[in-house]
Amino acid sequence: MSQKPATPLFWIASYPHSGDQLVRSFLQYLAKNLGYRPQEPAAIELLDRDLPWDVLAHFYESVIGTHPRDMSEEEIAAARPKIHEYISKTYPGIPVVKTHAPRGEFYGVPSINFDVSVGSVYLIRNPLMLAPIFAMAGKKDVVTALKLLATSEFRQPTSDTHALEPWGSWSQNVASWTNADLDGDLLIRFEDIAADPHGQLGRIANHLKMPVNDKQIAAAADAALVVHGMAGKKPQSDAWKGAMTKDQVRALLEVHARQMSRFGYLTNDVLNYAGLTREVALNSAAKFEELARMPVVPVGHA
């Protein structure tokens, strides 16, 4: 790829399974309407071509000259800002990049390169829905999924196609992108997209300053909903009740209640189902978050 002036990047950030695929599909269809690669299709298998993920292994091979499987965690952390600069200067796609990394430091290095960034959209989803989704996607039980969502400093390991990516716990990830309330940040709940796709996806298009009208937004939103099997489906906010026991819900609240409360997920219905008072849930989560701030030795390191 040839060098070009740096294009400031917008981030589509989220904890996994929180809607980034749907949002990227929507933006891909919008871009096609704007004439971007007009002869080529907008397709889910081409999302990384148009709106890349910052952990794709080929970026590391291009910038560092090494596949990430041959790099240590520290080396991958040090490479992340270089990868972001490379994308901003060379990538021929839309200047929108996906990440699941928390916004902070990873081995003392910024996980997001602010020098080449102009803003973000953070997608958040109720963890009561994420736990069964992770269990199903990973072909594991819900207890294993709950442990993953609660794991401080969690990293998704390197694979043949992707570099190691820090996720943190669900609460860590959410707090990292929402506590600062920086200029250029936009927060969108997945549940609100499901309830009002035209309106909420339109907010994202406007935030990214895309020159599109309401008709184009509606067409792109509808196309993305079809691709992801969401067209015509009404959101079921309490679907988690059929997938999790009361003890499992209670365990989740005792870890994530503080962040859930901030975004309207800690409802009286949820608390009653788990048999917890709001005060007990919030105090328990506060203690867990305090423990999570203690230094953690990275996996595989003495």
The dihedral sign for the CA sequence 267, 269, 274, 280: positive
Please write the tens of the pLDDT for every residue from 92-109.
777 899 999 999 999 999
* Of the listed ranges 41-45, 70-74, 268-272, the one predicted with least confidence: 41-45
CA distances from 142 to 16, 117, 147, 155, 271 (A): 16, 36, 9, 19, 19
Confidence check: pLDDT of 238 > 90? no
Looking at residue 302, what is its pLDDT? 27
* Of the listed ranges 28-32, 129-133, 261-265, the one predicted with least confidence: 28-32
**Cα separation of 292 and 260, whole Å?**
17
Structural domains of the chain, ranges and CATH numbers in brackets: 9-126+156-227 (3.40.50.300), 245-292 (no CATH)
**Cα separation of 193 and 259, whole Å?**
19
The vertex-17 CA angle with 53 and 62, nearest 5°, equals 15
Looking at residue 148, what is its pLDDT? 96
Q: What is the pTM of this model?
A: 0.92
- Count the Cβ atoms, other than its own, within 10 Å of residue 143: 14
Looking at residue 3, what is its pLDDT? 55
Read off the tokens for 189: 């709940």
- Count the Cβ atoms, other than its own, within 10 Å of residue 140: 13
Looking at residue 296, what is its pLDDT? 40
Q: Are 1 and 58 in contact (CB under 8 A)?
A: no
pLDDT tier for residue 15 given thresholds of 50, 70 and 90: very high
pLDDT tier for residue 300 given thresholds of 50, 70 and 90: very low
CA 229 to chain centre: 20
Please give the residue that has the higher pLDDT: either 182 or 184. Answer: 184
